[in-house]
Structure 1
């Protein structure tokens, strides 16, 4: 039987190991986010203006509903909204993430350690979050990026490919948003922010090699 001293030593070793693991993850993410890919990329002089946005935890894209032959109304029609009147707005905000985290955390007050831990360990249940919005204003949490039409179509193909066609639909937080079943597995390596970086990389945009945190995405674009 483990003595009190032995139990305390075991707990201490476990705590130290956890701290080292978390610090190692943070350092690895910072390094991965600083390694550039698509080094020769620069914003297009003319093309499609999109926005990369962050709420401090999640990153995603705001894109015109119709541009360069891409029409998001086909994947996310206004009729899917609790209030279809928002369908008249001209942009969509789209992000990818873990299902339980999305559906169970309508506000930051709803965030629970168990939900975060479950997502970090890994989940094959993922969702696309789509909001019908007006064109946003550029600011610290919203960066504008002009892509060539070819780059935009590659980005859109990646995003559209993340939807699970024929999957379920779930009510959003308000009248202007909705969730759809998504493809892909979420874990500590493939976070919502890593998904954003993957989409940008696929499009040919200069971004970090691995972008698990919001900062590792947003740092590549000037406010």
Structure 2
């Protein structure tokens, strides 16, 4: 009985130490900036970072001379099928969390546990917009052609693809009329979250970013 009690105490202490250490680094490391100097000041393409208060999306124009996203992320994949959309947002995350938790009230312990410890698969959430309004939660960034090509490659690399090289659409309930889900590579975890993925996207295009961040705050503090 005593051995069991000591083991239980050690387990609780280990969990507490992990949580305290994680929270400490999650609060401190995002303050360490990267790419503070714009090495390529050309302004060929306008992109955005957008947060809903928890999750960060990378938002890009649907059609440019460099890429037409509607060729693979099709208007026919969204409920509205509205081809007048001008922008598309990409957000990577845990598949179970995305599909099973449309509202925070729907969150289950099992879903959170699987996501937190990297035990699940992932999905790419794509959202179409007719226009983008700048705000504290939506920041405009002007980048060069090369930087945008880097971002294109970064986003495309995360999609799983079928035998024809097309993103694999997930037949699932969406959040609205203008979004869709696709199978993606990798696993979400405490250390590699949806915001970590978006932050790394900023790094890929040599824009201001945190050294590492699990939160949207870690990204937006460098822009607001």
- What aligned pairs does 1:1-223 form with structure 2 within 5 A after superposition? 1-2=1-2, 7=5, 11=8, 13-41=10-38, 44=41, 46-85=43-82, 87-166=83-162, 167-171=168-172, 172-222=174-224
Asked if structure 1 preserves the Cα contact closer than 8 Å seen for 2:77 and 2:180, the reply is yes
Identify if the C-alpha distance between structure 1 residues 194 and 19 changes in structure 2 by more than 3 Å, giving closer, same or farther.
same
Deviation at 1:195, TM superposition (A): 0.5
Deviation at 1:58, TM superposition (A): 1.2
* Cα deviation code 1:63-111 (max 9, x no counterpart): 11012411111221111112212x3211111100000000001112212
Unaligned runs of 5+ in 2: 163-167
Give the stretch that moved more between structures: 94-103 or 24-33.
24-33
- Spell out structure 1 runs of 4+ moving beyond 6 A: none
* C-alpha distance in 1 between matches for 2:59 and 2:104: 22
Give the stretch that moved more between structures: 30-39 or 177-186.
30-39
Give the stretch that moved more between structures: 126-135 or 159-168.
159-168
TM-score computed with the length of structure 1 as normaliser = 0.88
How many pairs does the alignment contain?
218
Identify if the C-alpha distance between structure 1 residues 113 and 155 changes in structure 2 by more than 3 Å, giving closer, same or farther.
same
* C-alpha distance in 1 between matches for 2:185 and 2:218: 23
TM-score computed with the length of structure 2 as normaliser = 0.88
Asked if structure 2 preserves the Cα contact closer than 8 Å seen for 1:43 and 1:146, the reply is no
Deviation at 1:35, TM superposition (A): 1.9
SS of 2:60 mapped into structure 1: strand
* C-alpha distance in 2 between matches for 1:18 and 1:182: 30
* C-alpha distance in 1 between matches for 2:213 and 2:35: 14
* C-alpha distance in 2 between matches for 1:139 and 1:156: 24
SS of 1:67 mapped into structure 2: coil
